[in-house]
Amino acid sequence: MKPPSSTQNKLVFGVIADDLTGGLELASMLIARGVPTTLSIGPGEPARYGAAHVFALKSRVAPVTEAVQATLEALERLIEQGARQVFFKYCATFDSTPSGNIGPCAEAILDRLGARQALFVPALCETRRTVYQGHMFGGAQLLGESPKRFDPLTPMTDSNLVRVLQAQSRKAVGLIDYSAVDQGPEAIRRHLSTHATTPFFICDTLYERHFSALAAAVVDAPFLTGNSSVTAHLPPLWLESGMLHSAATVRLDGVDGPGAVLVGSLADQTAAQLDRFAQSHDVFTIDIEQAYAGRDVVADAKRFAEAAAATGRDFAISTALAQERVEALQAIHGRLEIAAKVESILSEVARSVVFDNGVRRLVVAGGETSGSVVRALGITDLDVGPYREPGFSRAVATKPFAIALMLKSGKLGGPDIFASALDDMRRPISEAPLLDRWPPKV
Per residue of the chain (442 residues), what is the pLDDT tens digit? 333 333 334 899 999 999 998 999 999 999 999 999 999 999 999 999 999 999 999 999 899 999 999 999 999 999 999 999 999 999 878 877 788 999 999 999 999 999 999 999 999 999 899 999 999 999 999 999 988 888 777 888 899 999 999 999 999 999 999 999 999 999 999 999 999 999 999 999 999 999 999 999 999 999 999 999 999 999 999 999 999 999 999 999 999 999 999 998 767 888 899 999 999 999 999 988 888 889 999 999 999 999 999 999 999 999 877 677 777 887 888 877 888 888 999 999 999 999 999 999 999 998 778 889 999 999 999 999 999 988 778 999 998 889 999 998 777 788 999 999 999 999 999 999 999 999 997 5
User: Residue 322 has what pLDDT?
Assistant: 67
Q: What pLDDT shows up at residue 240?
A: 96
Q: Is residue 6 part of a domain?
A: no
The verdict on 325 and 198 lying in the same domain is no
Both 262 and 409 in one domain: the answer is yes
Note whether 197 and 241 are same-domain residues.
yes
Longest pairwise C-alpha distance within the chain: 66
In a domain, 132, yes or no: yes
Its domain, for residue 114, covers 13-250
d(CA 410, CA 133): 27
- Pairing state between β 37-41 and 52-56: parallel
Spatial distance between the Cα atoms of 351 and 79, rounded to a whole number of angstroms: 35
End-to-end CA distance of the chain: 38
Q: How many domains are there within the chain?
A: 2
Asked whether residue 442 is assigned to any structural domain, the reply reads no
Q: What is the pTM of this model?
A: 0.92
Same domain, 159 and 275: no
Residue 395 falls within a domain, yes or no? yes
Domain-embedded: residue 383: yes
287 and 207 both lie in a single domain:
no
Asked whether residue 233 falls in the same domain as residue 301, the answer is no
DSSP state of 2: P
Domain final position from 250, 272, 295:
250
**Which regions of 91-199 does DSSP assign to beta strands (E)?**
118-121, 129-132, 135-138, 141-142, 173-176
The H or E element containing residue 123 is none
